[in-house]
Chain A
Amino acid sequence: MTDILLSVRNLRVVFPHRHGDLVPIDDISFNVKKGEIIGFVGESGAGKSMTGAAIMGLIDDPGIIESGEIWLGDVRIDQLDAKRLIKIRGKRIGMIFQDPLTSLNPLKTIGDQLVETILAHLPVNADQAKRRALIGLEEVGIDSGRFNAFPHEFSGGMRQRVVIALALAAEPELIIADEPTTALDVSVQAQVLELLKKLCRERNASVMLITHDMGVIAETTDRVAVLYAGRLAEIGNTASLLSSPRHPYTRGLIASTPSVEHGDISTHLYQIEGSMPRLDALPTGCSFHPRCQDALPRCRLRQPEVINESVACFLYE
């Protein structure tokens, strides 16, 4: 299949620990098609950001990719050395982090940062790089007169626009956006997401959008993967997954999200009892079974596999 840009197969990330290994990502497989926006949703600690970090080769010590493969096009990228990884990071895969203030250099103007990025990745001279940088800023809606401004002179939303311009500067095929709008107000969030969506569509770039917000997923993504305790719970087309979720966790997640459209003071919100287990105290079998209302006896014993590339739950076997 040629329309698959990124393919992650049976990825398992392990952090060795003296009381037994911690496994923040356990046997996750998915594909990202060209030009597609795929969402990753789950609670803190579910493995969303770790998946992004594994793809970028940014897992902190002492974590390692114990098994599995990551393919970008026809290049296997999970075992590259630092030198070859540099050619991919930033060039073929761009990254957008949650907090735009810490991902920009406070001592350099945004123009310099853009030019530096372009020079590092593209075969252009300084003049051409500057011209490209100006076009890049214009595309994200920043006036070219602010080329020489420093990050602190911008508001949060404008800073995130600069970060988007930076991530797109080297014309990557894949953008990993890790909670890009969590630090922003809702009205600004809407603008930033819309901008990201538009620019990636124009370039036919794929996006992995990591978020905990089901509303953001619904409004931005084509497909969505739901993670729970380091494993893939469910993956599928966004519209159908949201209208008919299958995994009990996905169902609970959607049901417990309040909506501006209905409900009032007498509404009792649906709640999933308990909380996600910590990595050092994962239950046996399906890690969701202690919170699951539909749990079967075998859920305690065995971990369900992802069936038909859609849902990992014994209810559908």
Chain B
Amino acid sequence: MSEHEFIRIDRLSQRFDLSDPWIARLISRRPKQFLNAVDNVSFNIEKGKTYALVGESGSGKSTIALMAVGLLRPTGGSVLIDGHNLYDRTQSQLEHRRTRRRLQMVFQSPYASLNPRWRVGNILAEPLRVFSLTDSQSAERRRVHELLEQVGLSQSDAHRFPHEFSGGQRQRISIARALASRPEFIVCDEPTSALDVSVQAQVLNLLKRLQNDLGLTYLFITHDLAVVRVMAHRIGVLKSGRLIEEESTQSLIESPQSEYTKMLIRSAPRISRGTTGISFT
């Protein structure tokens, strides 16, 4: 293990049981059925770098995201955070929480991932309370204000509800919430696919600036290769739960090896091609 490596995903698998109820299986004499959503995937991410997972819907991107952040127990393999096994049952509750604080997630839809009945200040203070990170009310308030400013919102926004914000601003709130516990690693699951193009640029630039300022490590999940090109240091291509290709961004996009990756890159719509350009088939 190199000293710069922050997270190591080692032979990770997730198998979902899709079988009928046992009595139906008995009558129809069908065996159990399984779906290998993630199949023996291994990769690691260096500290302060962005690793992007790309692939079509159903390729297992989001399942890996959930396992990497500790929300879904894998059926095989392990996730090592700075050497600590995230799913080690022998670890104490306390140790486990200590590791969990270092991992956060930004979800796809800022409309569904913020509690509509909580004020923004409360949403941002929840992680602080869960991990007991501030020792007084005033310290808590200070930290909330600091977080809002970090993502380009103003202090007075703490008193407002999520519905008073636009999609892009809501995604800023999600990012601020993810930053609250001072994590080192953030999983971004399609963070801009619900946003309009002009707002997408703002959120992507914000994520980059935060990475530079705070030295964050990102796992970036997306289907958009154009976004990946400006966001990721390395890319892994997933197909049906398997990692079929992995390279640094530049070489993967400019000289893809597998047919599948070539197809993905070819079908990405591009402005420069114009109407006279190559038709896609």
Contact = CB atoms under 8 A, between A and B. Distances in A.
A262 B254 CA distance: 10
A212 B269 contact: no
Contacts of B233: 265
A260 B252 CA distance: 11
A119 B159 CA distance: 58
Contacts of B205: 268-269, 271
Interface string A251-269: 0111011111111110111
A257 B197 contact: yes
A185 B275 contact: no
Interface in A229-283: 238-239, 242-243, 252-254, 256-265, 267-273, 275-276, 278
Interface string B67-109: 0000000000000000000000000000000000000000000
Contacts of A156: 57
Contacts of A51: none
A147 to B, nearest CB: 26
A260 B249 contact: no
A253 B269 CA distance: 15
B133 interface: no
Interface residues of A, number: 50
B197 A185 contact: no
Given A221-B275, A239-B274, A259-B229, A253 B280 contact: no
B110 to A, nearest CB: 13
Interface size range of chain B in the complex: 35 or more
Contacts of B226: 215, 257-260
A219 interface: yes
Interface string B220-246: 000111110111110000000000000
Nearest to A37: B275
Contacts, number: 146
Interface stretch (A70-78, A102-110, A189-197, A294-302): A189-197
A270 B201 contact: yes
Interface centre among B50, B201, B205, B269 (most CB of A within 10 A): B269
Given A190-B280, A238-B274, A256-B201, A265 B249 contact: yes
A270 B281 CA distance: 31
Contacts of A262: 229
A99 interface: no
Contacts of A221: 275
A308 interface: no
A206 to B, nearest CB: 15
A142 interface: no
Given A185-B56, A190-B280, A212-B196, A218 B201 contact: no
B269 A213 contact: yes
A273 B152 CA distance: 11
Interface stretch (B13-21, B38-46, B142-150, B260-268): B260-268
A242 B271 CA distance: 7
A216 B268 CA distance: 9
A250 to B, nearest CB: 11
Contacts of A194: 279-281
Contact of A253 (B198, B225, B264, B273): B198
Interface stretch (B113-121, B123-131, B161-169, B180-188): B161-169
A214 interface: yes
B234 to A, nearest CB: 10
A278 B166 CA distance: 9
B273 A185 contact: no
Contact of B229 (A187, A190, A191, A260): A260
A44 interface: yes
Contacts of A189: 267, 269
B255 interface: no
A221 B264 CA distance: 22
Contacts of B227: 258
Contacts of B223: 185-186
B172 to A, nearest CB: 11
A243 B230 contact: no
B208 interface: yes
A275 B226 CA distance: 22
A69 interface: no
Given A260-B270, A265-B233, A271 B201 contact: yes
A216 B269 contact: yes
Given A185-B223, A193-B280, A212-B196, A219 B269 contact: yes
A155 to B, nearest CB: 10
Interface centre among B224, B274, B281 (most CB of A within 10 A): B274
Interface of A: 43-44, 156, 185-191, 193-194, 197, 212-216, 218-222, 238-239, 242-243, 252-254, 256-265, 267-273, 275-276, 278
Given A270-B201, A271-B201, A272-B198, 15 more contacts: A187-B264, A213-B197, A216-B269, A218-B274, A219-B280, A221-B275, A242-B274, A253-B197, A253-B198, A258-B201, A259-B270, A259-B272, A264-B250, A267-B230, A269-B205
In the A-B complex, the 3 residue pairs with the smallest Cβ-Cβ separation, listed nearest first, are: A215-B269, A256-B201, A190-B280
